[in-house]
Amino acid sequence: MSVAAAFTDNGGKFCETEKHPYELYLDLNGIEHRRTKVRTPRTNGFVERFNGTVLDEFFRVKLRETFYGSVDALQADLDAWLVNYNTERLHLGYRNMGRRPIETVMSFVSQKA
């Protein structure tokens, strides 16, 4: 599956200048960069909700119970949490309708094939 577009907010981590590494990467790979409307978080509601979920269910829990000696150790736990989030956990929102995100994506891909 290829990526045609990336949708981000207007933060400096994505697009401070045309020479920003993220902008250059997208350009070199033929990926369109779409941005949210400035000061309108509702245009990026799915990401805002996910950010809250990962903060509440992963970071606030793990950083209370685990001392990480390295960023790599934290990243490994986050990667495991993301795999579970996307492949094991049922999501009740109207987009997933009780399915796992991987099932929703695979259903979409098979319809496009």
Domain residue ranges in the chain: 5-35, 45-112
The pLDDT of 65-81, averaged and rounded, is 97
The CB density around residue 46, as the number of other CB atoms within 10 Å, is 10
Rounded distance between C-alpha atoms, residue 87 and residue 102, angstroms = 6
Question: Residue 8 has which token pair?
Answer: 């981000």
Tens digits of per-residue pLDDT, 13-41? 887 777 888 889 999 999 999 988 887 77
pTM above 0.85, yes or no: no
